Amino acid sequence: MTVSSSWQVLFTTEQRERIQVEARKSVLGEDRQPTQNPDLINAAFPLSLPTWDYNLAEGKERLRVYRQTLMAGLKAAVRKPTNLAKVYDVRQEKARRSNRLSDRQTRNLAKILLATTMDDPQEKRRYLKKLTSRTGKEDGPGPRRERPKLNKNQCAYCKEEGHWVKDCPNKRSKAPAKILEMEDLDD
């Protein structure tokens, strides 16, 4: 598989062009800084198939520079500047939660319910207060109560020291099931 056929499989035409442009921008000059000299750029990163002799030291060095330049072009082509203006446009506002009713919708719903269902003003106020307190909470159960920590030799049932729950004298034990015997059937 040659380089050009690999490029055609791995990248689209636009991606290949972007990689080549970025690679040509990263060709280093004599001072080890990116150069604008077209002769140096074409020598280091030719757009057509080069005729280098890879058995000679000069050909090997040109191939090494070509590979480094190509890798620099790949890295530069991958990086795209983030347009923060677009990010902030897409960000969802706090008031616009898709999974909850908005405050305005909740108030309107409460007014409609109150007007149609209840006659007593006190009952309406209590209901409205209850409704608004529910919508202000997050979904799911509230925080769990903390259970008191038990010592190593403390009963979980009566909280007394010296025995465990399975041996608790305060716990009502289940009466064993009465076994029906043949004598009981005669009565």
State in words which class domain 3-78 has.
Answer: mainly alpha
Query: Token pair for residue 19?
Result: 């990689």
C-alpha 49/C-alpha 3 separation (Å) is 10
Q: Does the pLDDT at position 155 exceed 70?
A: yes
Res. 180 pLDDT band, cuts 50 70 90: low
Q: What pLDDT digit, counting tens, does each position of 157-176 carry?
A: 888 888 888 888 888 766 66
pTM higher than 0.75 for the full model?
Answer: no
C-alpha 80/C-alpha 58 separation (Å) is 35
**Weakest-pLDDT range from 6-15, 61-70, 107-116:** 107-116
Alpha carbon of 102 to those of 105, 132, 142, 180: distances in Å? 5, 12, 22, 66
pLDDT given at position 1: 45
Domain range list for the chain: 3-78, 103-135
